[in-house]
Structure 1
């Protein structure tokens, strides 16, 4: 009954709506991560805005060029995320920029490949070096408050559509709001967008006594009318086409930015960090040795190379444990 039209296909959507080969969830709404940038800070420092197709090396240089101090106030070229210190899922775009992926497969991996130069160089620059050189606020600065793209003191960060109310409008952090634009994350040698693109949806349980009624409701939610309600309610539509054609006009006019295609294209081309079933500490944003790895980098206690050599066998041990428990 037209259900296939609800699923745009592609690796990212299939990874998040299929489980062990069976379709289990519909793409009701989404949340792609893009680079937000403060145009006024770029202008003040004489830095050209990022352009489509920009590269990792350009991004690195911009972070340094945008970081400065003015009248005793520090301004940062990069912030891990709005108000918090980022995490694994926020860094896959940079870790995978040259094509190396830290798992043998995204869904239920059997092998971990974390101890790799591409991963080390990305995390070393964006977390350890950025904090050490005041290119990015560290945990103590963030906890103190007042530092973020929404306050005008961070030039760029990687975030989803949910942060826009803090940048402009009646809920904005500052009265004047932020003059911002967005762009897809920079790429490396692989020339591919590996950014996290969240898919949120609905599931009809096998035990439901109202499967037909539930399916009718789901179909309405996924219709143009239903997706318009989703967009007006502040969430991003479920497919790239609806993001561009429905959500884009609403969000662009509400928050004063123009590159709505960045969100649609990121969902179309992006990936997810990892997917496991229940019973493991490892997750899409953190967990176990991944959390410890980030803590070391944020706390400046070990370099990325040092921390990854410790984390690799610990992550693999949890992957092995995951599969051992399933073979019992």
Structure 2
């Protein structure tokens, strides 16, 4: 019976191994055969891959896209559409970037006007003019009537190589919106104000905001300072932030400076005219939902679905106030065709269907945006909805003079403008002169960087791969020669082969998923690659990335300073807290298992959820922590700090260090295991010798626990240089760069600025820093770490 059982176990193990190997092989075959599968199905159908997001539209938008695609497939039986919806816009662009880098981009996809120039410059989008001309020449019944489109959204997807607005057309806008302010009709009535109309001015806006701000518990307006909105505000005064294709800043011109200073004073020199701008938990469109804010904006139509859920007060939409001129801008999203699509004709047919009158009419009642076709926008599909806003026609009236805001292809301009103006106009931790100086310095550095130059040679992939394979072959040959010199006997050889067979899955996994990415990252650190095209488009820049990092990148030094400040606080505090807690948890009392589990639980909770919780705790105006501190400090004439806002330079890293104490459960468990491993005889001998509790702790616990302390210290140092989720969710690195940790800055470079080579260089620099710190700690541990097995 036992022999049969052994044979069954052997057969079962072999079957499992065969199944596992087959699954792995099938996965590789499935991925490697993707280009052939996408080009045509077994039935000869063309398969198109479409990618979009649903965002605020949620399941409703998802269902509408699904219905439109089903209609398209019914009209085109030879085409099948595979749809990908990652959810929100952020996840969408991350997924899109990985698909493009892998060389398998979707055939058509959403692209926002703000990211459009970078995509065109990278050669990722196909120009659409030829398809439009072909449809007109053939009198195609579904030819898109460009004359029926609002001009501004269409212009937003033209690019001439320098800026948007002119040149070839690379996308067909599916919808758009103009900007204005949503206002609380009830608060306007309580303040005795007439409701805004077309042609109202910034002075009218200010009078209304002050009147509503004078009502008990109310604030006049929420005024967002996003880069596009800020430029729109300046354009109502007939000025802008730059000139000469973004080569010259205009921020110091008297008219521009005065308009910005006026906006800053409304928020920081007046009481309750504008929201404070300091809260991290109630910002943007959500502030309006409280019913205590008179106006919110400038926003577009995308907030309408959430505002339609308001039942506690009446609201409506007001046009953008007029300054010296009447101005407005458009925010829009287009359907674009990949330049790498194997089926451009079919992809264009689908774009034409998605942007046609029927599709736009289906999406109009959802309220997310305005249809781009005049005939649809002015029909009952859009204007016939009886739900608010009553002034929906204002969006259309503003579209007649709205313009596309051109942006440079380099995303650093918009990012740095937004961050520095937020510090001056929103949080107020910089004055206007300081913010302008920092922005101009950063943009000049980015636009004149040697990495922006042309003429770099392509990365010599063939030579590098040949060199790597040659080195690997030499290494294998050397190891084989060493093995042959001391080769074992037949029985030992069988045991060795069995051992290698057992570890082979790990070895293969290490080579494929660790060694290869490490090698690739090393090569990319000497290259310039945008991460949205295939590796063959990477340029070899030598040491230029490291020169830029070490000699010119001020933001890198800021991120290192923030990270080092955090590590200086978080590592000792965390280890002391974990050790103290472990000493308490080492007591054998009733219910101690529950307390150990409760203390450990936060360390395994989802990082995003914990970050959102602590964002509320540290909110400067309404946070739990300041709610406790304020009554204790006010008798002394003191106020608690604005942890993550104005005082973030001094109090931001300490706030994250305090938050890290919440996550010490993992270290506590390791310390607890070490404490439980200390022989009780040592404590008994020390007690017999008359040692007190403190002496036993210093002379027995700490020496015997020193290897555990050393391990936890190394892991804590490594972890302290890898802070990402908390900073990404709670502050995004703001205000300015005062909470921009090193890994967050690395993420910004890779996935927001599309500088994957530069980010790889940052990763290797981080490795060197952590390695040096680890070696320094290990060197200092020789005299302080006691290993019982080595000293017995």
What TM-score do the two structures reach when normalised by structure 2?
A: 0.36
Counterpart of 2:237 in structure 1 is 98
- The answer to whether structure 1 residue 111 and structure 2 residue 248 are counterparts is yes
Question: Among 321, 324, 329, which residue is 1:186 paired with?
Answer: 321
What do the CA deviations read for 1:42-66 (whole angstroms, capped 9, x no partner)?
1100112112111222222222222
Determine if contact 1:59/1:186 at 8 Å carries over to the other structure: yes
Question: Among 378, 387, 400, which residue is 1:244 paired with?
Answer: 378
Gaps of 5+ in 1: none
| Matching of residues 34-183 of structure 1 within 5 Å | 34-70=180-216, 73=217, 75-81=218-224, 86-104=225-243, 109-133=246-270, 134-141=272-279, 143=281, 148-157=287-296, 158-169=298-309, 172=310, 176-183=311-318
Counterpart of 1:215 in structure 2 is 348
What do the CA deviations read for 1:284-323 (whole angstroms, capped 9, x no partner)?
xxx1254123223322234335533553454344444499
Determine if contact 1:150/1:167 at 8 Å carries over to the other structure: yes
- Cα 1:58–1:77 shift into 2, 3 Å: same
- Hey, what's the Cα distance between the residues in 2 that align with 1:6 and 1:205? 25
- Cα 1:89–1:294 shift into 2, 3 Å: same
- Cα 1:324–1:206 shift into 2, 3 Å: closer
Deviation at 1:203, TM superposition (A): 1.0
What do the CA deviations read for 1:208-253 (whole angstroms, capped 9, x no partner)?
1222222222122222211012224443222455333255325x42
- Hey, what's the Cα distance between the residues in 2 that align with 1:7 and 1:316? 41
Structure holding more helix per residue: 2
Deviation at 1:204, TM superposition (A): 1.3
Moved more, 22-31 or 258-267: 258-267
Gaps of 5+ in 2: 1-134, 136-142, 161-166, 457-792
Determine if contact 1:181/1:258 at 8 Å carries over to the other structure: yes
Counterpart of 2:636 in structure 1 is none
Instruction: Tell me the matched-pair count.
Output: 305
Counterpart of 1:264 in structure 2 is 396
| Matching of residues 263-302 of structure 1 within 5 Å | 263-277=395-409, 279-283=410-414, 287-302=415-430
- Cα 1:313–1:202 shift into 2, 3 Å: same
> Which is greater in Rg?
2
Root-mean-square deviation (CA, aligned residues, Å) is 2.9
Determine if contact 2:153/2:372 at 8 Å carries over to the other structure: no
Determine if contact 1:104/1:112 at 8 Å carries over to the other structure: yes
What TM-score do the two structures reach when normalised by structure 1?
A: 0.81
- Hey, what's the Cα distance between the residues in 1 that align with 2:422 and 2:447? 19
What do the CA deviations read for 1:155-211 (whole angstroms, capped 9, x no partner)?
112212121233223xx4xxx24311212201122x221x33112111112321222
Determine if contact 1:147/1:153 at 8 Å carries over to the other structure: no
What do the CA deviations read for 1:119-139 (whole angstroms, capped 9, x no partner)?
333333334432442211123
Moved more, 197-206 or 310-319: 310-319
Counterpart of 1:3 in structure 2 is 144
SS of 2:335's equivalent in the other structure is coil
- Hey, what's the Cα distance between the residues in 2 that align with 1:313 and 1:101? 18
- Hey, what's the Cα distance between the residues in 1 that align with 2:440 and 2:407? 18
